[in-house]
Amino acid sequence: MNKKEIPEIIYGTAWKEDATEQLVFTAMKMGFRGIDTANQRRHYNEADVGKAVARALKTGIKREDLFIQTKFTFASSQDHRIPYDMHADYATQVKQSFQSSLEHLQTDYIDSYLLHGPSTPVGLTEADLQVWQEIESLHKQGQARYVGVSNVNSRQLKMLYEQAKIKPTFVQNRCFAEQGWDNEVRAFCKENSMIYQGFSLLTANHIVFPKIKYIAERVKKTPAQVMFKFSMLVGILPLTGTTSERHMKEDLELDFSLNPEEIKFIEYIGMK
């Protein structure tokens, strides 16, 4: 994998509804090149992400400079707007969902295609493995350049890694300071050359902000910028879903450093 192809920060598009197109277009205009979505109308408006991408391409941004990530979501996590025949076999469901994503996003390939969480909170089922096999097929056909999984615990990730013929490149989880920033999953990713993506880094960790104010003052940045910089330094590829143009700009201005003591302090901050 050419790490130059992977963005340092990704713009997340969940829960933006009718504002999705303008927010995603603004994010790309500000400099974001990584975009995360899902073919799950319950929480995402994937079609409007595609409209934003189409607008951005007309401004001179090139498709090959974008990193577009989307997901297959099981019917149990969808609302009534399911983008495939839920009575079809799982391979067909993945094919139909993927084709729908290509149409929504107005592209002929996806940079990163994720299983949007296993079908059960405990372990993996035959359904999960059948879906993964079809995701592997999409990768083999060149339609999905990278593959991965989200919303997994360490046991599920290890089971998938052991059984997958094509190993995940990306693992995307919600990241809590109180849980050591998902340290068990991150450690397994590091051991096996997978890239960990962390979401809800800010919204799930408000308790951290007052504790790192002194660091923010030292580097003359905001606590949010310190959080994102910290995540990068410990191997987390961060997602941000900000709707503020000012914050979009700040989230891309991370050209500063933290010292080892500060990194260690933040890494264990929620465990104290």
- Binned average pLDDT, 10 residues per bin, the chain of 272 residues: 78 98 98 98 98 98 97 98 98 98 98 98 96 98 98 98 98 96 97 98 95 97 98 98 98 97 94 68
Closest by Cα among 94, 88, 78 to 131: 94
The pTM for the full model equals: 0.96
Structure tokens at 105: 């996003």
Residues 6+ apart with CB under 8 A from 14: 37, 38, 43, 44, 241
CA gap 100, 97 in Å, rounded: 5
- Secondary structure class of 240 (helix, strand, coil): strand
- Looking up tokens 């067909």 gives 92
How much is the pLDDT for 5?
85
pLDDT at 4: 56
Cα–Cα distance for residue pair 106/267, rounded to 1 Å? 40
pLDDT given at position 226: 98
CA distances from residue 107 to 63, 84, 216, 268 in whole angstroms, order as listed: 9, 19, 40, 42
Quote the pLDDT of residue 1.
46
Spatial CB neighbours of 107, under 8 Å, sequence gap ≥ 6: 50, 53, 63, 68
Rounded to whole angstroms, the Cα distance separating 50 from 187 reads 34
